[in-house]
Every structure is written in structure tokens, then in C-alpha cells.
């Protein structure tokens, strides 16, 4: 949108406020602010552990220590009967944490940058996008640990199945982004949203086969789990990394469709609500 | 968006009959509980801040807005920068807009001045290449010297503002919006800022200033708007407008 106005090219962008912006205009504008997304993601990732003694190493230490706790608890106290339960849990938990922290962090993304939103213009979409992308990059870094643990535990990885991780990541990113658009915009108007979401995300975790397998869900409740787009996503991660098999494409397709619907709803809600952000904050 | 040739469009800013209301909640419940329980409480009165403002600013022109607190001049600036939207009327702007409004936005205290330049400039919509190109100039103008590689938390507030100003002015916007900001740093830096604004203006940047410092407006602007109760009360040569404004204030 905002083109460089060099002495050579004398074209400038004309903008009319008071009229609706089109979808394409907004997308183009977000693209022209891509450096802001990069800068925010970098600031957040580097800033998170800055000042601590181990610094960036915490990105890897965190999941590793969590894994230690789980493997101790579930091998001594809560014996689940699932073989290599720590791995069963770990490959599902890392993606779940990405999703849950994107939704929760997304909800806070606009109100936490209140001063900036009130005083500077930039496409508001940048804030939830940066939050989700930060968490996404963080998850990808955690996957280095996941791969290491999977290999060390003696699971033979299936290469074609591993390639399927890419679409699974993409679908989860879209879903998380859609949720973050929705929650970030709504939280500006209803501050309770942040607290409600804490509970909602906890319940959502138990409505997703993260701690247990899809197979043990009683038949009459399966319909709830099937309507949850996170079910096929988490199951796909487990298929790839725990069972080392190619995930079920039919259920992944339904997750993609549901993810796109959530993204569409989130986008529309965000576009409607963003116009009065500066006044409501 | 349409791309047009600059020379055919002398106006950088066109404001046509713009109205803006703010909602004043009688007893605002932003919590869900309150919204559900007390529907009646969420009634608000509409407070008209701008009542049919129309103005045009030529490319390369500098204008000032003066008026009492609450007259709507800052609201007008917010509408120009697209932070908020008019209820009625159309605002047309041509080119990249930058504001000297919130200096040092997005600074991370633990990162160095240099790193923060990238974050801060990106908020004005610059891409990496554009920032690379301006980096030396920004550092030079800030006068921070070797401190540029020190974490921003070690800066004095003056240094912080200088870096923020330096980024904002070097964005090379086509339209520069300024809200009461020329109180940055020591008097030497202030003079530098004022000179830089004149220089930027001579390069064809359109400038809009909101200020209580009438002298600053007179020094930079060709035209001044006196805004009262959301309407343009008088416009014209800054000296004349300010004389009338001051007379009205005294009486």
C-alpha cells in the first residue's frame, strides 16, 4: 500500500478513510508491514529469556525439563499402560502448548500494546499475527528437542510420514491464527475474555486427545471430539512421531476446512471490531 | 487504492465534511458480567467532537491547528493518521504518513539502540531494505555516537527521545503529523529538530502540527486553523489567526 516515493517513481498511494477497505487492500497492507512482524517476533523470542543466565537455551530446556517431570510421574505413579507414555504425551503436548499459548497470548496481544494502538497507525492484524508466529517459531525450535527424544527412544521415523508434518503445522497455524484474531479483538471490548479463556483452554485440552488416545473415548462422546479441529491435528502429530505412520488425510482435510472457517470468522470479526480499538482501549 | 501521478494532485490531505462522535458511557461496564446484568447502564451519550470539518492541505504545505483543550484538534489528527475513523465524511490522504506522536514505540529496554531502530522503524511500515538505507542517517542525527550499541535501558530519557525522534523524522514520510512534540531533549536538540522540520518541509513533505506553542507554528507553518467546539472558527495566516485566538482567549 505505502509505496516508497523515490524521486524516480512519482506514484503514491491514495487512501480514503470513511470508506470500507477491501480484503485485498488489508492483505497488501499487512504484507507491507512484514518487517514489523519480523521485528516483533524477534523482539519477543530474544526478549523472553534476555537477562537470564542461560538465555536462549531456555527455549530448549523448558520442554526438556517438562518431559523429565512427565516421564517420572507417569512411569512411577500414574502408570497408564501405554507404551512409552512420556513420548506419547510429549509429541502431542508441544503442539498443544503452541495452540493454547497462541489463543491466550493472542487475546492479550492488543490490550498489552494499548499505548501503541492508541497513538500510532499500523495494521492492527500485525499484533495477533506476531503473537501466533512467535509461538509457532518457538514450537518449531521445540521440535528439535522432540526429534532428538523420538530418535533416542528408539522409534524408527518414517520419512514420507515426516513430510506430512508440514501440512499439519500449516493447518494448526491457520487455526491458531483464526482463534487469535477472534480473541484479541473481542478482549478489547470484554476484558473478562482473558480469564474466561483460561478455563476454556483447560477444558479444550481435555476435549482433545492430548493426555489419552482417541481410541479410549466412549463412542457416544466421539462426536464432540470429531467437531473439535484440534483432535485430528493432535492425532496426526502422534501418528507421525509416535506411531511413525502417515496420518489420516480425511480427518486432516476436515481439520483444514474447520481451520479455514475459524480463520474466516476471526478475520471478519477482527475487521469489524478494529475500527474502534483506539477509542475502546 | 489507485495509483496516480503525484503532480496532478496538489492536495496531500483532503478532509470533506467530517463528523466524529465519541461515546461517553454513563457507567461503563467493560466486563461481561456488567454488560449482561446491566444493559441499561451501557447507555451512552454521544459527544460530538468534530462537527463538519472540511479542509485541504497542499503538498509541501505546513499547517497548524490551534484551539483550547478538548476542541477536537487532537481528534482530527487521530483521524488523519487513521488511528480512528470518522463517523461521517471522507478523508483522503496521498502518500506515506508518519507521526511524531509516540516516540520510541516498541523499544525493548534490553536491546541495543541499533536493534531498536529496526523495531521502531518497522512500526512505521518500513521494510528491512529501507531501514538499512536510513540506518547511518538515523544514528548520526540522534547524536548518540557509541551509545547506539548499548542497551536502551541505560539511556537517559533525553537520549531515548532523541533516538525516537531521529527514527520518526527519517522515515521520509509524505505527510508528517506532529502533536505537541517539539519539547524533546535539550534546547540544542530542539533547535536541531526545528531545523530538520524546515528541511523536511523544503523537500516537499506536508506537515500538520497541533501545538499550544504558537511561536513554533508561526515559524514553520504558512497556515493556521483555529478550531473551536469541533468547527473551524478561523483559518489563514498564522499570525493573524493567533492574534484573534489570543484576543478571544483573554476576553
- Residue A38 above 90 pLDDT? yes
Is A7 a domain residue? no
Residue holding cell 493432535? Answer: A234
Q: Say yes or no for a CB contact (<8 Å) between A35 and B7.
A: no
- Residue B95 above 60 pLDDT? yes
Confidence band (pLDDT; 50, 70, 90) for A77?
confident
B214 beta partners: none
Predicted ipTM > 0.85: no
Taking Cα atoms as reference points, which of B220, B207, B235 lies closest to residue B13? Answer: B207
Maximum average pLDDT range among A79-83, A265-269, B148-152, B161-165: A265-269
> What residues make up the domain containing A94?
23-280
Q: Least CA distance to A50: which residue of chain B? A: B110
Q: Say yes or no for a CB contact (<8 Å) between B125 and A120.
A: no
Nearest to B91 among A18, A32, A122 (CB): A18
Is A58 a domain residue? yes
Helix crossing, A249-273 with A165-189: angle to 10°?
A: 30
B5 at interface of A, judged by CB pairs closer than 8 A? yes
| Range B146-155 average pLDDT | 90
**Cell numbers at B68, concatenated:** 483550547
**Cell numbers at B82, concatenated:** 487513521
Residue A67 and residue A61: Cα distance in Å, rounded?
Answer: 10
pLDDT value at residue A2: 42
Is A169 a domain residue? yes
pLDDT value at residue A204: 94
Residue holding cell 537470564? Answer: A52
Q: Least CA distance to B33: which residue of chain A? A: A192
pLDDT value at residue A198: 92
| Total of domains in chain A | 1
Is A32 a domain residue? yes
Domains of chain B are 8-95+211-250 (3.40.50.300)
Q: Please report which residue ranges of chain A form alpha helices under DSSP H.
A: 23-32, 34-48, 58-76, 85-109, 114-119, 126-152, 159-163, 165-189, 193-206, 222-226, 230-241, 249-273, 277-280
Is A5 a domain residue? no
Contact B122, B130 (CB under 8 A): no
Residue B248 and residue B106: Cα distance in Å, rounded?
Answer: 41
Confidence band (pLDDT; 50, 70, 90) for A9?
very low
**Cell numbers at A279, concatenated:** 477509542
**Least Cα separation, residue A6 to chain B (angstroms):** 10
Residue B125 and residue A122: Cα distance in Å, rounded?
Answer: 7
pLDDT value at residue B106: 77
pTM metric for this prediction: 0.86
| Per-position DSSP letters for B67-106, written without gaps between them | --TTSSHHHHHHHHTTSS--SEEEEEEES-EEEESSTTTT
pLDDT value at residue B1: 43
B22 at interface of A, judged by CB pairs closer than 8 A? yes
Q: pLDDT tens digits, residue range B41-94? A: 556 677 888 888 888 888 888 999 888 887 888 888 888 888 888 888 888 888
Q: pLDDT tens digits, residue range A13-37? A: 677 765 667 888 889 989 989 999 9
Distance, C-alpha B65 to centroid of its chain: 11
Residue A229 and residue A255: Cα distance in Å, rounded?
Answer: 5
Between strands A11-17 and B3-5, the pairing is antiparallel
Residue A16 and residue A38: Cα distance in Å, rounded?
Answer: 28
Distance, C-alpha A236 to centroid of its chain: 16
Taking Cα atoms as reference points, which of A111, A136, A124, A134 lies closest to residue A181? Answer: A124
Residue A88 and residue A241: Cα distance in Å, rounded?
Answer: 9
**Cell numbers at B67, concatenated:** 484551539
Q: Say yes or no for a CB contact (<8 Å) between B95 and A12.
A: yes
Is A217 a domain residue? yes
Q: Say yes or no for a CB contact (<8 Å) between A39 and B85.
A: no
A2 at interface of B, judged by CB pairs closer than 8 A? yes
Nearest to A15 among B93, B105, B121 (CB): B93
Q: pLDDT tens digits, residue range B199-232? A: 888 888 999 988 878 888 888 888 899 888 888 8
Q: From residue A265, how far is each of A38, A180, A242, A271 by CA, in Å? A: 25, 11, 33, 10
Q: Could you report how far apart the first and last alpha carbons of chain B are, in Å?
A: 48
| Range A152-162 average pLDDT | 86
Q: Say yes or no for a CB contact (<8 Å) between B105 and A115.
A: yes
Residue B140 and residue B150: Cα distance in Å, rounded?
Answer: 15
Q: Say yes or no for a CB contact (<8 Å) between A1 and B102.
A: no
Q: Say yes or no for a CB contact (<8 Å) between B83 and A278.
A: yes
Amino acid at each position: 500500500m505505502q509505496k516508497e516515493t523515490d524521486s524516480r517513481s512519482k506514484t503514491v498511494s491514495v487512501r480514503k478513510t470513511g470508506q470500507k477497505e477491501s480484503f485485498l487492500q488489508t492483505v497488501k497492507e499487512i504484507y507491507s508491514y512484514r518487517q514489523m512482524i519480523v521485528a516483533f517476533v524477534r523482539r519477543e523470542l530474544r526478549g523472553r529469556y534476555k537477562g537470564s543466565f542461560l538465555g536462549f537455551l531456555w527455549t530448549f530446556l523448558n520442554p526438556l525439563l517438562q518431559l523429565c517431570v512427565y516421564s517420572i510421574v507417569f512411569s512411577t505413579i500414574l502408570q497408564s499402560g501405554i507404551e512409552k507414555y512420556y513420548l506419547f504425551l510429549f509429541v502431542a503436548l508441544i503442539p498443544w502448548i503452541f495452540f493454547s499459548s497462541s489463543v491466550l497470548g493472542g487475546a492479550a496481544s492488543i490490550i498489552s500494546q494499548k499505548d501503541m494502538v492508541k497513538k500510532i497507525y499500523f495494521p492492527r492484524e500485525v499484533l495477533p499475527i506476531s503473537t501466533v508466529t512467535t509461538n509457532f517459531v518457538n514450537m518449531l525450535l521445540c521440535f528439535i528437542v522432540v526429534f532428538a527424544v523420538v530418535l533416542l527412544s528408539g522409534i524408527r521415523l518414517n520419512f514420507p510420514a515426516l513430510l506430512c508434518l508440514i501440512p499439519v503445522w500449516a493447518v494448526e497455524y491457520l487455526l491458531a491464527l483464526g482463534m487469535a484474531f477472534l480473541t484479541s479483538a473481542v478482549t478489547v471490548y470484554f476484558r473478562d475474555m482473558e480469564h474466561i479463556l483460561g478455563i476454556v483452554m483447560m477444558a479444550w485440552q481435555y476435549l482433545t486427545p492430548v493426555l489419552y488416545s482417541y481410541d479410549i473415548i466412549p463412542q457416544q462422546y466421539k462426536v464432540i471430539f470429531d467437531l473439535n479441529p484440534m483432535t485430528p491435528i493432535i492425532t496426526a502429530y502422534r501418528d507421525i512421531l509416535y506411531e511413525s505412520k502417515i496420518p489420516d488425510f480425511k480427518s486432516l482435510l476436515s481439520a483444514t476446512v474447520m481451520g479455514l472457517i475459524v480463520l474466516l470468522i476471526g478475520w471478519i470479526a477482527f475487521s469489524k471490531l478494529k475500527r474502534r480499538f483506539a477509542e475502546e482501549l | 487504492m489507485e495509483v496516480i501521478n503525484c503532480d496532478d494532485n496538489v492536495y496531500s490531505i483532503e478532509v470533506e465534511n467530517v463528523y466524529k462522535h465519541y461515546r461517553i458511557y454513563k457507567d461503563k461496564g467493560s466486563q461481561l458480567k456488567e454488560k449482561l446484568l446491566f444493559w441499561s447502564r451501557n447507555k451512552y451519550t454521544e459527544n460530538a467532537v468534530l462537527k463538519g470539518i472540511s479542509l485541504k492541505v497542499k503538498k509541501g504545505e505546513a499547517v497548524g491547528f490551534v484551539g483550547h483543550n478538548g476542541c477536537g484538534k487532537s481528534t482530527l489528527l487521530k483521524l488523519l493518521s487513521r488511528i480512528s475513523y470518522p463517523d461521517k465524511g471522507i478523508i483522503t490522504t496521498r502518500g506515506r504518513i508518519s507521526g511524531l506522536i509516540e516516540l520510541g514505540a516498541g523499544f525493548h529496554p534490553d536491546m541495543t539502540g541499533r536493534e531498536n531502530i529496526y523495531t521502531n522503524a518497522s512500526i512505521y511500515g518500513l521494510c528491512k531494505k529501507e531501514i538499512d538505507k536510513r540506518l547511518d542517517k538515523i544514528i548520526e542525527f540522534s547524536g548518540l555516537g557509541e551509545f547506539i550499541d548499548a542497551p536502551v535501558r541505560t539511556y537517559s530519557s533525553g537520549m531515548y527521545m532523541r533516538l525516537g525522534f531521529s527514527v520518526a523524522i527519517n522515515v521520509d514520510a509524505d505527510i508528517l503529523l506532529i502533536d505537541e512534540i517539539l519539547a524533546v531533549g535539550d534546547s540544542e536538540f530542539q533547535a536541531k529538530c526545528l531545523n530538520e522540520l524546515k528541511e523536511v518541509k523544503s523537500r516537499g513533505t506536508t506537515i500538520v502540527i497541533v501545538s499550544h506553542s504558537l511561536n513554533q507554528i508561526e515559524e514553520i507553518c504558512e497556515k493556521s486553523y483555529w478550531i473551536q467546539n469541533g468547527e473551524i472558527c478561523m483559518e489563514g495566516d498564522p499570525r493573524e489567526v493567533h492574534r484573534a485566538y489570543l484576543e478571544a482567549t483573554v476576553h
